[in-house]
Amino acid sequence: MGASIRRLLVGSPLETSQAVHERLTKVKALAVFSSDALSSVAYATEEILLVLMLAGSSALSLSWPIAVAIAILLAIVATSYYQGIHAYPSGGGAYIISRENLGTLAGLVAGAALLIDYVLTVAVSVSAGVAAITSAAPALYAHRVGLGVLFILLVTWGNLRGVRESGTIFAIPTYLFIISFLTMIGTGLFKYVAGQATPLPSTEAIQPVQPLTLFLLLRAFSSGCTALTGIEAISNGVMAFKPPEARNASRTLAAMAVLLVTMFLGITWLARAYGIIPKESETVVSQLARTIFGYESSLYYLIQATTAFILILAANTSFNGFPRLASLMAQDRFLPRQLANLGDRLVFSNGIVILGAIAAALLALFGGSTHALIPLYAVGVFLSFTLAQAGLVRHSLRERQSGWRHTAIINGIGAIATGVVLTIITATKFMHGAWIVVLLIPSMVCTFLTIHDHYEMVRRQLSIHTPDPLPRPVRRHRAIMPISGVHRGTLKALYYAQSVTDDVTAVVVDVDPEQTRRIREQWEEIGTKVPLVVLPSPYRSVQEPLMEYIDQVSASLDKGDVLTIILPEFVPRKAWHHLLHNQTALLLKAALIYRRTKHNEVVVDVPYYLHE
């Protein structure tokens, strides 16, 4: 039944040979990989205004020059990643570029930063999408956490069905968002130029609570830099594109950058022109759409609906980037190997499920508040930007391919610019929550290194080429079979033991004299020549006397001898039936497998399956 439900929800398994057919066209890839970056225009301007309004109404006009500076930075970063796609056409983004050019430690720092960013992208995008919904339907505001968790579950489900299906599901809302926002920007500009603009009436001037200082301007700039989040997703997922992968990915990146700059600058300019002031109960985009189209207009509700959709579906970018990055790090033995496994639908299912669970927990922890999550957001993004661009500079200097000087200069400027922004973001947002990310990244790097050390230890100890002595060929085989009764399962295990060796001993622990007497009689009744040893247990323990006996037998073995402990076990047909039986065999199995011994021992479980 469980398998049937899974097939219904996720779909039928796909053959490995179908992987190339599951790749994305440029049209679908723009929806899958760009929704995060494009959706940021719905809240990036608002984050700038929220900081500037601390200095009073007059400071809000500074949002435009700040937005222009961010747009220039965005163009530099996009150009750098455009070159990175062609330098590393197999994908990998900041992690691969940093690891190969700046060393393993730099690669792990970039990987940690990106993994954190992907989790935060899901939480921030979904919470912002819920904010768009509650702006149009204020009655739902009290249920924002529950709505957010529900939407994360839906996006998780969509991605578990496969890359191509998720691209199909998410393409329509993404393009509706682009068209509706460009329509709003175009209409707003036309009305302003034609003198038909009717700015929102301001109730009263905002009184400054802080002076307009350089630090405040830098803080506003760093808040607006959330517009750059998600740019790296395309370079991380180059291999998800149809061939030629690098060309299709780079063209998609260019289209995304143009759309992002246009929409971000358009929203910021209109917000200033129409006198929009951020409110707790209504987003800047909602106020702008209401001013341009009217509150009762269907276009207003279309803007709110597509904004909510794109913000929620922006999480889809992370659901493609996080599992792919985690699989690369798992292949390099810095994360558990399970994250490198493709699921039934040719997606990294384990990474998708883990991302959904962590993001849902984070959203609930911060009460579904976008503004509370934003300060954690951009540190990891710009850290990975800086490392990736510095790595591309090193790559250009080392490879010296055609046009390498031009490439190195662009990437060098980008590395310096994003490095400066990283410093600004860390300084201005440190006390507002960025300190969490600053502490979390080195903790994650230490975890990666610990995981890698474990895998290296396992590889070293399992390798047949290490100087450690290899296992000896078996010279003599002896078997011990603990029993708690004589039944069909016991006989099945006994016959198996006799097929392995003639030296078999059955063992029963005497916890109940009457039951032990019956076992003796039944053992004689079956007429086997296998001896039955009864172990006294004055304290009614099964494991302790049995382990002592096994230790005595093991100690008597010579080198090259093997002792096999054979465990008979009957398995009920229904899962709940297990609750009605002692789990003696299971407990013995765990105790035997995890105990350390110098002797050559083997534990064999012989199940007997019940029919009803």
State how far the Cα of 198 lies from the Cα of 191, in Å rounded to an integer: 9
What digits encode the pLDDT tens for the residues 325-377? 899 899 999 999 989 887 766 678 899 999 999 999 998 888 877 767 767 77
Give the pLDDT score at 21. Answer: 46
Q: Return the closest-CA partner of residue 34 out of 237, 221, 184, 288.
A: 237
Can you give the pLDDT at residue 4?
Answer: 57
Q: CB-based burial of residue 68 (10 Å sphere; 0-12 exposed, 13-18 middle, 19+ buried)?
A: middle
User: If you ran DSSP here, which 8-state letter would residue 42 be given?
Assistant: G
Spell out a b/e string for 505-514, using b for 16 or more CB atoms within 10 Å of the CB, else e: bbbbbbbeee
Q: Whole-angstrom Cα distance, residue 287 to residue 295?
A: 9
Which DSSP string do the residues of 55-124 spell out, in sequence order? G-GGGGGGHHHHHHHHHHHHHHHHHHHHHHHHH-TT--HHHHHHHHHH-HHHHHHHHHHHHHHHHHHHHH
Give me the sign of the Cα torsion angle 569, 571, 572, 574.
positive
Strand, coil or helix: what is 271?
A: helix
Q: Which of 603, 566, 594 minimizes the C-alpha distance to 480?
A: 566
Amino acid type, 550: I
| pLDDT score at 469 | 62
Residue whose entry in the numeric block shows the structure tokens 């392995």? 500
CA dihedral 360, 363, 365, 368 (to 10 degrees): -140
pLDDT score of 381 = 82
State the first-to-last Cα distance of the chain, in angstroms, to the nearest integer. Answer: 17
Q: Give the pLDDT of residue 543.
A: 86
Residue 477: strand pairing partners: 562
Return all residues near 584 (Cβ < 8 A) that are at least 6 apart.
Answer: 484, 542
Percent helix, strand and coil across the chain, each to the nearest 5: 70, 5, 25
Question: Under a CB-based contact definition with an 8 Å cutoff, are residues 75 and 82 in contact?
Answer: no
Sign of CA dihedral 159, 163, 166, 167: positive
Q: Which pLDDT does position 201 carry in this prediction?
A: 60
Which residue ranges of the chain lie beneath pLDDT 70?
A: 1-22, 91-92, 162-170, 198-205, 344-346, 371, 374, 464-474, 598-599
Q: Which two tokens stand for residue 267?
A: 């929203």
- Rounded to whole angstroms, the Cα distance separating 195 from 271 reads 16
**What is the value of pTM for the model shown?**
0.75
What does the alpha-carbon distance between residue 181 and residue 257 come to, in Å, rounded to a whole number?
A: 15
CA 46 to CA 49: how far, in whole Å?
Answer: 5
Q: Which of 473, 534, 476 is nearest to 505 (CA)?
A: 534
Q: Please tell me the predicted confidence (pLDDT) of residue 379.
A: 83
Q: What is the largest CA-CA distance in the chain?
A: 106
- Which residue, 49, 51, 72, is CA-closest to 272? 49
Beta bridge partners of 536: 510
Report the alpha-carbon distance of residue 150 to residue 367 in Å, rounded: 14
Q: Which residues contact 550 (CB under 8 A, 6 or more apart)?
A: 480, 563, 565, 592, 601
Length of the chain measured in residues:
612
Pairing of strands 561-571, 476-482: parallel
DSSP string spanning 321-345?
A: HHHHHHHHHHHTTSS-GGGG---TT
In the chain the domains, ranked by start, together with CATH numbers, are: 19-455 (1.20.1740.10), 476-609 (3.40.50)
